[in-house]
Chain A
Amino acid sequence: AQSVTQLDSQVPVFEEAPVELRCNYSSSVSVYLFWYVQYPNQGLQLLLKYLSGSTLVESINGFEAEFNKSQTSFHLRKPSVHISDTAEYFCAVSDKAAGNKLTFGGGTRVLVKP
Protein backbone atom coordinates (compact mmCIF):
# COMPACT_ATOMS: atom_id res chain seq x y z
CA ALA A 1 0.00 0.00 0.00
CA GLN A 2 1.04 3.55 -0.68
CA SER A 3 2.45 5.57 2.21
CA VAL A 4 3.29 9.27 2.47
CA THR A 5 5.75 10.71 4.96
CA GLN A 6 5.97 14.34 5.96
CA LEU A 7 9.11 14.49 8.03
CA ASP A 8 8.30 17.66 9.94
CA SER A 9 5.15 17.89 12.05
CA GLN A 10 5.74 21.57 12.85
CA VAL A 11 7.83 24.26 11.17
CA PRO A 12 8.20 27.66 12.85
CA VAL A 13 9.49 30.33 10.48
CA PHE A 14 9.89 34.10 10.57
CA GLU A 15 7.98 36.31 8.17
CA GLU A 16 9.78 36.88 4.86
CA ALA A 17 12.05 33.88 5.46
CA PRO A 18 12.03 30.86 3.13
CA VAL A 19 10.34 27.59 4.06
CA GLU A 20 10.58 24.02 2.77
CA LEU A 21 8.14 21.25 3.68
CA ARG A 22 9.35 17.77 2.91
CA CYS A 23 7.25 14.97 1.48
CA ASN A 24 8.32 11.46 0.52
CA TYR A 25 6.13 8.65 -0.73
CA SER A 26 6.64 4.94 -1.23
CA SER A 27 7.73 3.88 -4.66
CA SER A 28 5.22 3.51 -7.45
CA VAL A 29 5.38 3.40 -11.21
CA SER A 30 2.80 6.08 -11.79
CA VAL A 31 1.43 8.62 -9.33
CA TYR A 32 -0.27 11.97 -9.14
CA LEU A 33 0.96 14.31 -6.41
CA PHE A 34 -0.82 17.08 -4.53
CA TRP A 35 -0.28 19.62 -1.79
CA TYR A 36 -3.32 20.79 0.15
CA VAL A 37 -3.53 23.62 2.70
CA GLN A 38 -5.88 23.72 5.67
CA TYR A 39 -6.60 26.97 7.49
CA PRO A 40 -8.06 26.79 11.03
CA ASN A 41 -11.58 25.33 11.21
CA GLN A 42 -11.77 24.86 7.46
CA GLY A 43 -11.57 22.03 4.99
CA LEU A 44 -8.59 21.34 2.78
CA GLN A 45 -7.92 23.47 -0.28
CA LEU A 46 -5.79 22.40 -3.22
CA LEU A 47 -2.52 24.33 -3.30
CA LEU A 48 -0.84 22.71 -6.30
CA LYS A 49 -0.68 19.45 -8.19
CA TYR A 50 1.59 17.37 -10.38
CA LEU A 51 -0.17 15.21 -12.95
CA SER A 52 2.41 15.07 -15.76
CA GLY A 53 4.84 17.24 -17.71
CA SER A 54 7.21 19.70 -16.03
CA THR A 55 8.45 18.43 -12.70
CA LEU A 56 8.30 21.92 -11.17
CA VAL A 57 4.80 23.14 -10.41
CA GLU A 58 3.77 26.49 -8.99
CA SER A 59 0.78 27.93 -7.18
CA ILE A 60 -0.70 31.40 -7.58
CA ASN A 61 0.47 32.50 -4.12
CA GLY A 62 4.19 31.83 -4.51
CA PHE A 63 4.53 28.20 -3.47
CA GLU A 64 6.29 25.69 -5.70
CA ALA A 65 6.95 21.97 -5.53
CA GLU A 66 9.28 19.71 -7.46
CA PHE A 67 8.55 16.11 -8.37
CA ASN A 68 11.66 13.97 -8.02
CA LYS A 69 10.91 10.47 -9.26
CA SER A 70 14.27 8.95 -8.32
CA GLN A 71 13.95 10.16 -4.73
CA THR A 72 10.16 9.68 -4.60
CA SER A 73 9.80 13.17 -3.18
CA PHE A 74 7.55 16.17 -3.73
CA HIS A 75 8.91 18.90 -1.45
CA LEU A 76 7.06 22.20 -1.12
CA ARG A 77 8.91 25.51 -0.97
CA LYS A 78 8.23 29.21 -0.70
CA PRO A 79 11.06 31.77 -0.87
CA SER A 80 9.39 34.34 1.39
CA VAL A 81 6.46 33.54 3.69
CA HIS A 82 3.71 35.81 4.97
CA ILE A 83 1.78 35.72 8.22
CA SER A 84 -1.21 34.54 6.18
CA ASP A 85 0.68 31.35 5.25
CA THR A 86 0.20 30.07 8.80
CA ALA A 87 -1.73 26.84 8.24
CA GLU A 88 -1.37 23.08 8.07
CA TYR A 89 -0.07 21.60 4.84
CA PHE A 90 -0.78 18.09 3.62
CA CYS A 91 1.03 16.16 0.93
CA ALA A 92 -1.12 13.58 -0.88
CA VAL A 93 -0.43 10.90 -3.46
CA SER A 94 -2.84 9.30 -5.87
CA ASP A 95 -1.56 5.92 -6.98
CA LYS A 96 -2.92 4.64 -10.26
CA ALA A 97 -2.22 1.07 -9.21
CA ALA A 98 -4.47 1.58 -6.18
CA GLY A 99 -7.43 2.94 -8.12
CA ASN A 100 -6.28 6.56 -7.72
CA LYS A 101 -7.39 6.82 -4.12
CA LEU A 102 -5.59 9.60 -2.25
CA THR A 103 -3.16 8.77 0.55
CA PHE A 104 -2.29 11.70 2.82
CA GLY A 105 0.77 12.46 4.86
CA GLY A 106 0.41 13.34 8.52
CA GLY A 107 0.58 17.08 7.85
CA THR A 108 3.04 19.87 8.63
CA ARG A 109 1.90 22.80 10.72
CA VAL A 110 3.58 26.05 9.60
CA LEU A 111 3.63 28.89 12.10
CA VAL A 112 4.85 32.18 10.64
CA LYS A 113 6.17 34.58 13.25
CA PRO A 114 6.43 38.36 12.79
Chain B
Amino acid sequence: IAGITQAPTSQILAAGRRMTLRCTQDMRHNAMYWYRQDLGLGLRLIHYSNTAGTTGKGEVPDGYSVSRANTDDFPLTLASAVPSQTSVYFCASSVGPEQPQHFGDGTRLSIL
Protein backbone atom coordinates (compact mmCIF):
# COMPACT_ATOMS: atom_id res chain seq x y z
CA ILE B 1 0.00 0.00 0.00
CA ALA B 2 1.43 3.36 -1.04
CA GLY B 3 2.11 5.85 1.67
CA ILE B 4 4.57 7.15 4.23
CA THR B 5 6.56 4.93 6.56
CA GLN B 6 8.08 6.32 9.73
CA ALA B 7 10.53 4.51 11.99
CA PRO B 8 10.81 3.89 14.83
CA THR B 9 7.22 3.91 16.08
CA SER B 10 8.40 4.99 19.49
CA GLN B 11 11.69 5.56 21.28
CA ILE B 12 12.94 6.46 24.73
CA LEU B 13 16.23 8.32 24.56
CA ALA B 14 18.69 9.67 27.09
CA ALA B 15 19.38 13.39 26.95
CA GLY B 16 22.49 14.24 25.00
CA ARG B 17 22.20 11.29 22.62
CA ARG B 18 21.97 11.61 18.87
CA MET B 19 18.84 10.26 17.17
CA THR B 20 17.65 9.99 13.58
CA LEU B 21 13.98 9.57 12.77
CA ARG B 22 13.39 7.93 9.43
CA CYS B 23 10.74 8.79 6.87
CA THR B 24 10.20 7.12 3.50
CA GLN B 25 7.45 7.73 0.96
CA ASP B 26 6.66 5.74 -2.18
CA MET B 27 4.28 8.18 -3.82
CA ARG B 28 7.03 10.11 -5.65
CA HIS B 29 5.89 13.31 -3.99
CA ASN B 30 8.16 16.30 -4.47
CA ALA B 31 7.55 18.00 -1.12
CA MET B 32 8.19 16.52 2.33
CA TYR B 33 7.79 17.90 5.82
CA TRP B 34 8.57 17.20 9.47
CA TYR B 35 6.22 18.35 12.23
CA ARG B 36 6.11 17.95 15.96
CA GLN B 37 2.78 17.61 17.74
CA ASP B 38 2.39 18.85 21.29
CA LEU B 39 -0.84 19.01 23.29
CA GLY B 40 -2.79 22.19 22.64
CA LEU B 41 -0.29 23.48 20.08
CA GLY B 42 -1.37 21.49 17.07
CA LEU B 43 1.39 20.61 14.62
CA ARG B 44 4.39 22.86 14.19
CA LEU B 45 6.64 22.67 11.16
CA ILE B 46 10.26 21.80 11.93
CA HIS B 47 11.82 21.53 8.46
CA TYR B 48 10.59 21.02 4.94
CA SER B 49 11.85 20.14 1.49
CA ASN B 50 10.09 21.28 -1.68
CA THR B 51 12.16 18.96 -3.88
CA ALA B 52 15.08 16.56 -3.62
CA GLY B 53 18.32 18.38 -2.88
CA THR B 54 16.69 21.36 -1.14
CA THR B 55 15.58 21.95 2.45
CA GLY B 56 14.18 24.83 4.44
CA LYS B 57 13.53 25.83 8.02
CA GLY B 58 10.07 25.80 9.48
CA GLU B 59 8.65 27.37 12.62
CA VAL B 60 10.72 25.40 15.18
CA PRO B 61 13.99 24.26 13.52
CA ASP B 62 16.45 24.68 16.41
CA GLY B 63 18.06 21.43 17.53
CA TYR B 64 17.00 19.55 14.39
CA SER B 65 18.55 18.93 10.99
CA VAL B 66 17.32 17.24 7.82
CA SER B 67 18.65 16.05 4.50
CA ARG B 68 16.96 15.20 1.20
CA ALA B 69 19.39 13.14 -0.87
CA ASN B 70 16.60 11.60 -2.97
CA THR B 71 12.85 11.91 -3.55
CA ASP B 72 11.79 9.12 -1.21
CA ASP B 73 13.71 9.70 2.02
CA PHE B 74 13.67 12.62 4.45
CA PRO B 75 15.41 11.78 7.75
CA LEU B 76 15.23 14.08 10.77
CA THR B 77 18.22 14.19 13.12
CA LEU B 78 18.42 15.40 16.69
CA ALA B 79 22.15 16.03 17.20
CA SER B 80 21.99 16.18 21.00
CA ALA B 81 18.53 15.42 22.39
CA VAL B 82 17.03 17.54 25.15
CA PRO B 83 13.89 16.86 27.23
CA SER B 84 11.95 19.66 25.51
CA GLN B 85 12.16 17.62 22.32
CA THR B 86 9.86 15.02 23.85
CA SER B 87 6.97 14.97 21.40
CA VAL B 88 5.21 13.04 18.66
CA TYR B 89 6.89 13.59 15.31
CA PHE B 90 5.03 13.36 12.02
CA CYS B 91 6.45 13.17 8.54
CA ALA B 92 4.27 14.28 5.63
CA SER B 93 4.53 14.61 1.88
CA SER B 94 2.62 16.30 -0.93
CA VAL B 95 2.75 16.53 -4.70
CA GLY B 96 3.62 20.20 -4.33
CA PRO B 97 3.65 22.79 -1.55
CA GLU B 98 0.11 23.95 -2.37
CA GLN B 99 -1.42 20.47 -2.36
CA PRO B 100 -2.88 18.47 0.57
CA GLN B 101 -0.34 16.62 2.65
CA HIS B 102 -0.26 12.90 3.40
CA PHE B 103 0.94 11.94 6.88
CA GLY B 104 2.77 9.01 8.39
CA ASP B 105 1.61 7.40 11.64
CA GLY B 106 4.16 9.26 13.74
CA THR B 107 7.11 8.57 16.03
CA ARG B 108 6.57 9.02 19.75
CA LEU B 109 9.87 10.23 21.22
CA SER B 110 10.59 10.60 24.93
CA ILE B 111 13.81 12.27 26.07
CA LEU B 112 14.81 11.55 29.66
Contact = CB atoms under 8 A, between A and B. Distances in A.
Contacts of A94: 97-98
A76 B48 CA distance: 28
A104 B44 contact: yes
Contacts of A41: 105-106
Nearest to A6: B42
Interface residues of A, number: 26
Given A42-B105, A43-B90, A90 B100 contact: no
A43 B43 contact: no
B98 A102 contact: no
Contacts, number: 58
B58 interface: yes
Given A44-B90, A49-B100, A99-B97, A104 B48 contact: no
16 contacts: A6-B42, A36-B103, A41-B105, A43-B4, A43-B90, A44-B90, A49-B100, A51-B98, A99-B56, A99-B97, A100-B97, A101-B97, A103-B45, A104-B42, A104-B43, A107-B40
Given A101-B45, A107-B42, 17 more contacts: A36-B103, A41-B105, A42-B105, A43-B90, A44-B92, A46-B102, A90-B42, A94-B97, A99-B56, A100-B97, A101-B58, A102-B43, A102-B45, A102-B101, A103-B59, A104-B43, A106-B41
